[in-house]
Structure formats: C-alpha cells, structure tokens
Amino acid sequence: MPISRRTILAAGASSVVTAAASASVQDDPAIEKAIAELVQRSQEANAALLRSDVDRYRELITLAEDFTLMSPFGGRPSRGTEITDETWDAMRRFFRNGTLRQEVVQAYGSAEMVVLAVIEHGHGEVGSLPGQDWPLRVTLVYRRKGADWHLAHRHADPLARGISLKEAALLANGPR
C-alpha cells in the first residue's frame, strides 16, 4: 500500500525517513519525497524548539498565513496572526534543555497537502517545571505554497499515555 495511505511505525526519525523514502512507489514519487522531507523537517524543528532554538525552528518551518495551533495545554486555538516576535521570544524562554524523538503513526499526502500524525517523545524543561518527559500526540497539516510546504495546522495533546474516562471528564469540564 502506498505511503500516503499506510501506517509508518518507527523507533526513530532516521528509520522513519528511510521507511518513507524506500516505500514502494505506487503514487507520485514527488509526494513520497515530500512526506519523507516533512517527517525529517518536523522532527528537527520540534527538537530545536525544545532546546530553545527558536531561530532554527523558524528556518525549518514556515507558518501558513492562516495557521492554527491547538496547544497541548488546551484553551482557545491560536492563530498565526497572533504569533509575534514577542511570542517567539516567550517560547525561547519557555522551552529549555530538551530532546525529542518523533514516532510517525500515519502519513497522508497529495500534491497540495501532507498530514502527519505523530507522537513526539520529548524531554525537557517546560515553563517553570524541571526536566521531565513530554510525550505528545500531534497532528501536523502542511500545505504546499509554490515550491515550499507551509505548516497550516498543529494540534497537540499530552494524552499519549492514555487517561481514564473519569480523568477525561474532569478535563472536559474544567475547574469548578
């Protein structure tokens, strides 16, 4: 089955990229290449972010003009127009001393759009918390603009380890 429709499971980014690049080419080889590139780019960019290297993140990822972010901390979705230089500076201070390994769960691609469903296995200092594991379930939607791919949407949640129905209900209903 082509990579645009099959599950890719891998222990590390290099094997994910290798699996994506060596998949049987029944679809457009350019799509296969784009998926492999975006898997690698996403891994590298988000690892940089956890190290406070916002500049490297921004070199690797271009946000679409209509970008939306559904943060792992919940709340109202953010829009790309709200992400200012001050926001990037705050992110530089928020994430520190981190590492990241990305596990691709599913990848879909077409000539104009790539969707990656991944688990980011992060570890680092976030906010005022000491270093700890931060596994996140993440969906990334990339859209082609000219010759480049722009990140149109990121949705992340900290539920990679699973929670009970009661815990989900508590989160859904918020503080009382």
CB of 21 closer than 8 Å to CB of 36: yes
Q: How confident is the model at residue 175 (pLDDT cuts 50, 70, 90)?
A: confident
For residue 176, the model assigns a pLDDT of: 63
- Please return the burial class of 58, using the count of CB atoms within 10 Å of its CB with bins 0-12, 13-18 and 19+: middle
Helix or strand (DSSP H, E) at 119: strand 113-126
Structural domain range at position 107: 3-173
* CATH (domain of 35): 3.10.450.50
Q: How far apart are CA 137 and CA 120, in angstroms?
A: 7
pLDDT one-digit tens code per residue, 135-152: 999 999 999 999 999 999
What sign does the CA torsion over 20, 41, 142, 140 have? positive
Q: Which ranges of 51-142 does DSSP label H, i.e. alpha helix? A: 54-60, 85-94
| Total tally of structural domains belonging to the chain | 1
**Residue 136: per-residue pLDDT:** 98
